[in-house]
A and B are shown apart, each in its own frame.
Chain A
Amino acid sequence: MIKSKKMNILYLMALFSLFTASVVNADDLSDVKELINKYVNSQTLENMNTQAKLMASDRTYIANGTRYSNNEISMAIQTANNAVTRKASPGIERISTAEDVHIRLNGGTAIVSFYLIMNDINNAANVKAGQAVMTTIYATVSMALFKIDGDWKIVHTHFSPTK
């Protein structure tokens, strides 16, 4: 009788731990998805400070055949580049989307890959002057995310031009 009671308790504990593990995994997956959405939504031609908050301070960034290991400078370059684009074409807007997001969770680390589509909508003056209404840039992206002090942060990004 006592033996079977003990067995029941053990069984219950095992079941509970399985349930807890799957809840944590589901939470992590939603958190990672949310972070990717925030990243894509902040892939604009504005100041990149919002996007920088999604990253670890030592994020490594690979794009256009260059590796940037100083994240602060890398984000400053992107912000400066965006400022010039906005000044040259006032009113221009970038709307980005991600397709086919693949996420692999490994404990407190997530490895993500997706296609990033960046749509630059031109201003009316440029369109009247004969430029295209929209220019689209395609990229294939790899990302590594890590849970730092309970928060998911991007620790590595690799961009390759696609199309």
Chain B
Amino acid sequence: MTKLKNLGVYHLIAVIGLFATAAVQADDMDDATALLNAYIETESDLNAQSKLMSEDRIFIVGSPAMRITDNATNMMGQAHGEKRRKARDPESLYFATIEDPIVRMYGDVAVASFRRNLNFRPSADGMRNGMSNNTGRQLVTVVMAKVDGDWKIVHTHISSA
């Protein structure tokens, strides 16, 4: 009788363990997806976007490609470009869209790849000053990792599509 009771307890523990693992995995996937969405949504607010990254994020971009390992300096350069764009046409619209994301979980790491469109739509004044609609098409890899309980972007690789 005691043996049976013990078996029942072990069985329950195993089921709870399995359930807990699945729940944690589902939560992690939700958290990683939310972080990825936030990365896309903050393309026109780089101050907010930089908060999504670890301090040592690696950034690979350009054609020819270059690797930047100093994230603070990298984001400072990008923020300067953002400021210039806003100064040139304050009423313009700049936004990113994501297509066909593939997100895979590997323990405390999520690897995402997707197509990103960077869309620039000038204001009427901007158009009069010679600006035009522009869309940059990219293929992007974003690696996210759980750092001290928080998901952060630790690696980004962008190439033109």
Contacts and interface: CB of A to CB of B under 8 A. Distances in A.
A55 to B, nearest CB: 14
19 contacts: A60-B102, A60-B113, A65-B160, A66-B161, A67-B113, A104-B155, A106-B107, A106-B145, A106-B154, A111-B109, A113-B58, A138-B64, A140-B157, A142-B141, A146-B106, A156-B141, A160-B159, A162-B64, A162-B65
A104 B111 CA distance: 14
Interface residues of B, number: 30
A111 B134 CA distance: 33
A33 interface: no
**Contact residues of A: prevailing secondary structure:** strand
Interface of A: 58, 60, 62, 65-67, 69, 100, 102, 104, 106-109, 111, 113, 115, 138-140, 142, 144, 146, 155-156, 158-163
Given A65-B159, A142-B155, A107 B67 contact: no
Contact of A111 (B107, B143, B160): B143
A69 B107 CA distance: 21
B157 A142 contact: yes
B87 interface: no
B154 A142 contact: no
Nearest 8 interchain pairs by C-beta: A160-B65, A109-B109, A140-B65, A142-B157, A146-B106, A160-B159, A158-B141, A158-B157
A158 B106 contact: no
Contacts of B65: 139-140, 160-162
